[in-house]
Amino acid sequence: MKKAIIIGASSGIGKGIALELLKKNYKVAISARRIERLEEIKSINPNNVIIKEFDSSTEQNDKLLSYLVNKLGGLDLLIYSSGIGILNKKLDYQIEKKVNNLNVSGFTQVVDWGFNYFINQNYGHIVNISSIASEIGNGIAPSYNASKAYQANYLQGLRFKTIRKKIPIYLTDVRPGFVDTEILQGNKDDLFWVSTVEKACSQIMKGIESKKNILYITKRWKLISLLIKILPEKILSRFF
Ligand SMILES: NC(=O)c1ccc[n+]([C@@H]2O[C@H](COP(=O)([O-])OP(=O)(O)OC[C@H]3O[C@@H](n4cnc5c(N)ncnc54)[C@H](OP(=O)(O)O)[C@@H]3O)[C@@H](O)[C@H]2O)c1
């Protein structure tokens, strides 16, 4: 039985991937702060779900991961789906710091721990949910887009390492556009191409299985990625 950890699985994409993995007969260990949400997921398949209440913005993720991997009895797949984005028109540093603590520091600690774990066992797969936002700046939530750019770049760096050293560790960078989750804060109707969680997670699962480097979710967001690369900043600044 394959074993996976998902950090940030109490709702949205993390939860959706957990449900997909259970369908594929994985044993999963999931964490987040809202324990009651994790308990709901465990109640679906108590034997194959391990839960742990945890705030990943603390610098204690190594303890969390050691705990979860011991409970699982091994690890094949590590997924980081924790993330926040906060509008910050006034550039309040405390807001930027909060975002960075989770999206940058928490992310780095989890991915580094996983990479070193997989180096020791000589195989493994790390998946991060970054965003199409990783490809462009954002005037009203600068730390969100910048933190996603950090994640995308960091994963590419680790990919270069595995290619150079011929290590069988896979690193998948998932770049969703809009997915109908709590992070949209009820603004779904003002947005376009909003995917259901189910559709997004089914595409993510296929991408994980084929060990893709970069995944656009849904696939049509690749078009937005191309536009971001060719349009001048004067035009882009109207939207971001
Ligand atoms: N939905 C979209 O349109 C979209 C688009 C692009 C990228 N993404 C990315 O997808 C990832 C998942 O977001 P989502 O859309 O599924 O939204 P979501 O439903 O809000 O999920 C966010 C997850 O992060 C967890 N989390 C937040 N703060 C945390 C903390 N301090 N410690 C541990 N876990 C924490 C939440 O759990 P608790 O609150 O229970 O701790 C929740 O499980 C995020 O990185 C987001 O940036 C989403």
| Distance separating alpha carbons of residues 235 and 33, to the nearest angstrom | 39
Pocket test for ligand 1, best of 5, 11, 178 (most atoms within 8 A of CB): 11
pLDDT for 174-201, tens place per residue?
Answer: 999 999 999 999 999 999 999 999 999 9
Distances 199 to 63, 106, 185, 218 between C-alpha atoms, Å: 33, 27, 19, 8
**By the 8 A CB rule, do 169 and 112 touch?**
no
Q: Report the domain count for the chain.
A: 1
pLDDT for 63-117, tens place per residue?
Answer: 999 999 999 999 999 999 999 999 999 999 999 999 999 999 999 999 999 999 9
Looking at the CA of residue 34, tell me the nearest atom of ligand 1: 40
Looking at the CA of residue 57, tell me the nearest atom of ligand 1: 31
Range of the domain at 120: 3-236
Predicted confidence (pLDDT) at residue 132 exceeds the cutoff of 90? yes
CATH number assigned to the domain comprising residue 7: 3.40.50.720
With a Cβ cut-off of 6 Å, ligand 1 is lined by 8-14, 32-34, 37, 55-57, 81-85, 102, 129, 131, 176, 178-179, 181-184
Predicted confidence (pLDDT) at residue 239 exceeds the cutoff of 90? no
Residue 17: pLDDT band with limits 50, 70, 90 = very high
Residue nearest to atom 12 of ligand 1 (CA): 81
How remote is the CA of residue 165 from the centroid of ligand 1, in Å? 33
At residue 240's C-alpha, the angle toward residues 194 and 198, to 5°, is: 15
Residue nearest to atom 24 of ligand 1 (CA): 82
Put simply, whether the predicted model's pTM sits higher than 0.95 gets the answer yes
> In the structure encoding, which two tokens stand for residue 168, read together?
């069988």
